[in-house]
Amino acid sequence: MKRPVKSLPAGRARLVIVVLLLAFSVMLLRDIYLQLLDQSTLRQQGQMRYLRSVPLPASRGIIMARNGQPLAVNVHAVTIWADPAILDKHHDQWAALGRVLHLSRADFARRVASGGADYTYIERQVAPRIGNALQKLQVPGIYVQNTSRTYYPLGAVTTPLLGLVDEAHQGAAGLERGYNTWLRARPGRELALVDGHGQIVHVAKVQQLAHFGHPLRLTINPQMQYWAYITLTRSLHHFHAKDGSAVVMNVHTGQILAMVSAPSCNPNALGACTNPADYTNNAVHQAFEPGSVMKPFVVAAALASHSVQPDARFNVFHPLIVDGYAITDDVRHHILSIEKILKYSSCIGASKIALKTPEQIIYHMYRSAGFGRKPDLGFVDATAGVLPDWRNWSLARHATIALGYGISVTTLQLADAYAAFANGGYHMRPELVMGQAPVATRIMPAWVARKLRGWLQSVAEPGGTGILAAIDGYHVAGKTGTANMANGHGGFYGHTTNATFVGFAPGNHPQLVMAVSLRGSHFKWNFGGIEAAPVFRVTMRHALQEMNVAPACQHGPIMRITIKPGENLAEIARQYHSSVAHLMNINQLRNPEDIDSGTLLKIPTPKGEKHICRFAAPLVSRAQAEIWSEGGGGT
């Protein structure tokens, strides 16, 4: 039996059709609105999700030595950054990301939250292997950007000189900071389309071009820099000094061939340079009372102003009382010439010369030589030292400023100033960047520089305070200095010193000058002739070999011999076919008896003999060195 089929009411069917048509019309109108009227808003929303502005890397300028050897270079590194909007959706991967980056989950979360809404740095300039490990995880929202970091091939040897860069690859110390505007790179930015995993699919446009840093070529000689650092560090450790510095300069151009400081640190090792003392350039940032190395400048001022004659002699047997203060010598002598005052470093003799010379004349000589003036070498906050105005000098200051007290200088200033004795009386503006023309200013007559150049050679001869600076085969000229360190309360530490040596070589035709300073040693024999002079000897020997300077001390009709015990001038004159009068004249002797055993004597070169250096650095016992370093020696 068939059931009857019921049909829907006609009104209901029409209602269903109307509802369907209305729904279709709403969808059609919505589509028209989105496609035509709200198109810009939709595109903007899409771009916010898939169009990103990402950095365009650029390399910092490299720093080179004078021979083109790199001192600071860029090596491949990666920077890790994140898009928090994407990365927030993948919290389950944060622990794995932290393990690769050696960060706890909390530290990782803090770094993600430290940046902007769509860009934050996680790590900068890390090893490429970390980037490779992150890419293997394929976590959306974490990005690996190729970049570079600074690598220093000589490590700790150049750290105080070159300085450091920070995490943003900007100069933070040394020349890196001083020349940051020249060296720094300016990264660009590009607009890139990224996929759902945050990977760049297409670069839409470059928003800002990347600018690479400029290279910087220094006057530094890498070999001299190395030897200066090694010998300075060895002396610092041996004598338990607090810190030290050394500078090597070309006396004719003012170019700095080495500038080292100790202690130092290796900037290539992670976390090695956290103590500012390890990357402070003591050669320009640290001023100290220099001691007796200032005596030649008082002599130069006295000679140039004719306050004292070159053949003047001074009685130094008794202490010199000035304003109630007694100036004494460590070793007692009787009557000394100016040469012997420098050779034995007589404080009494130097003070007497100073008191015969007007204060203004001494001040002008110091100032002209570069003391009290800040060098323009690119070191931020370099010190000028202290040179008090001569109008404020007391009588005691007038006498003791010749001894290096009441004035503070830097190691660079000492090397710079001594170059004037070596080059004939010119102050050379120090230069550290290649391509600059030398700037010379005469500060003393040529005859004064010549006199001092000869007298200062006796300092590194037997009996002189700088005997440990003597280099076999070369004449060396220089001066030792020892000053008690100020305690910051108007007094001095009893057994802690600034030990200094400044010298140049070869003595007759100087090419290089070197200043060495060690501070804070409380070693028993903490004198400039003990601590600093050997640093000069080792470094200068290698430096002269590096410059192919032959070990021939004399180039002319005069050579030198060492006086043996018991020899007299008449015997020497007969042996070398000369006369007593001629030997006295070329050696500036007043009496035939004015020769000491161990002294170098100028003699005419016998016919048929080569003009070679006859002086050899003597074998010196420790006891002799300790006596000579105090101003003893001789008979």
DSSP, residue by residue, 568-611 = -HHHHHHHTT--HHHHHHHTT-SSTT---TT-EEEEEPPTT---
pLDDT in the model for residue 319: 93
For the ranges 496-510, 566-580, 616-630, the maximum mean pLDDT occurs at: 496-510
Overall size of the chain counted in residues: 635
Q: Tell me the DSSP string of 73-119.
A: EEEEEEEEEE-HHHHGGGGGGHHHHHHHHT--HHHHHHHHHTS-SS-
Residue with the larger pLDDT of the pair 566 and 413: 413
Residue with the larger pLDDT of the pair 250 and 84: 250
Residue carrying structure tokens 């015969």: 356
Residue 218 has pLDDT above 70, yes or no: yes
Residue 633 has pLDDT above 70, yes or no: no
Residue-wise pLDDT tens digits, 84-104: 878 888 888 888 888 888 888
**Contact at 8 Å (CB) between 359 and 393?**
yes
Interatomic CA distance for residues 351 and 245, integer angstroms: 28
Residue 624 to residues 327, 335, 345, 524, 567, Cα–Cα distance (Å): 24, 22, 16, 15, 21
Judged on CB neighbours under 10 Å (0-12, 13-18, 19+), 589 is: middle
Tell me how far the alpha carbon of residue 44 is from its chain's centroid.
Answer: 54
Which has the closest alpha carbon to 442: 423, 464, 470, 466? 423
Least trusted range by pLDDT, from 26-30, 296-300, 490-494? 490-494
Residue 553 has pLDDT above 50, yes or no: no
pLDDT in the model for residue 72: 94
DSSP run (H or E) holding 10:
helix 10-32
Residue with the larger pLDDT of the pair 197 and 61: 61
Residue 458 has pLDDT above 60, yes or no: yes
User: In the beta sheet, which residues pair with residue 256?
Assistant: 249
Which has the closest alpha carbon to 501: 475, 477, 473? 477
Annotation marks residue 104 as catalytic: no
pLDDT in the model for residue 15: 74
* Banded model confidence at residue 612, pLDDT cuts 50, 70, 90: very low
Residue 614 has pLDDT above 60, yes or no: no
Question: And the tokens for 200?
Answer: 């760049």
Residue-wise pLDDT tens digits, 360-372: 999 999 999 999 9
CA atoms within 13 A on the CB side of 634: 26
Least trusted range by pLDDT, from 94-98, 231-235, 333-337, 457-461? 94-98
Residue with the larger pLDDT of the pair 295 and 128: 295
Least trusted range by pLDDT, from 12-26, 327-341, 610-624? 610-624
Catalytic site residue from 59, 261, 264, 292: 292
What is the average pLDDT across 416-430?
96
pLDDT in the model for residue 88: 81
pLDDT in the model for residue 77: 80
- For 514, the 3-state DSSP assignment is strand
pLDDT in the model for residue 33: 63
- For 484, the 3-state DSSP assignment is strand
Residue-wise pLDDT tens digits, 7-62: 656 666 677 777 777 777 777 776 766 566 555 654 554 544 456 666 677 788 99
pLDDT in the model for residue 34: 59
Percent of the residues in the chain that have a pLDDT greater than 90, as a whole number:
47
Question: And the tokens for 205?
Answer: 């446009």
Residue-wise pLDDT tens digits, 341-359: 999 999 999 999 999 999 9
pLDDT in the model for residue 555: 44
Three-state secondary structure of 346-378:
CHHHHHHHHHCCCHHHHHHHHHHCCCCCCCCCC
Residue with the larger pLDDT of the pair 144 and 457: 457
Residue-wise pLDDT tens digits, 381-390: 899 999 999 9
What is the average pLDDT across 315-324?
92
pLDDT in the model for residue 628: 44
Residue 207 has pLDDT above 80, yes or no: no
Percent of the residues in the chain that have a pLDDT greater than 70, as a whole number:
82
What is the average pLDDT across 488-497?
61
Residue with the larger pLDDT of the pair 177 and 595: 177
* Banded model confidence at residue 617, pLDDT cuts 50, 70, 90: very low
* Banded model confidence at residue 208, pLDDT cuts 50, 70, 90: confident
Phi and psi for 451 in degrees, rounded to 5? -60, -50
Interatomic CA distance for residues 329 and 322, integer angstroms: 14
Residue 107 has pLDDT above 90, yes or no: no
Q: Packing angle between helix 533-546 and helix 222-238, nearest 10 degrees?
A: 160
Residue 378 has pLDDT above 70, yes or no: yes
Question: And the tokens for 294?
Answer: 């200032």
pLDDT in the model for residue 7: 62
**Contact at 8 Å (CB) between 383 and 363?**
no
Share the mean pLDDT of the chain. Answer: 83
pLDDT in the model for residue 577: 74
Interatomic CA distance for residues 111 and 103, integer angstroms: 10
Least trusted range by pLDDT, from 41-50, 249-258, 275-284? 41-50
Residue 227 has pLDDT above 80, yes or no: yes
Residue carrying structure tokens 């070793």: 331
Which has the closest alpha carbon to 425: 570, 249, 304? 304
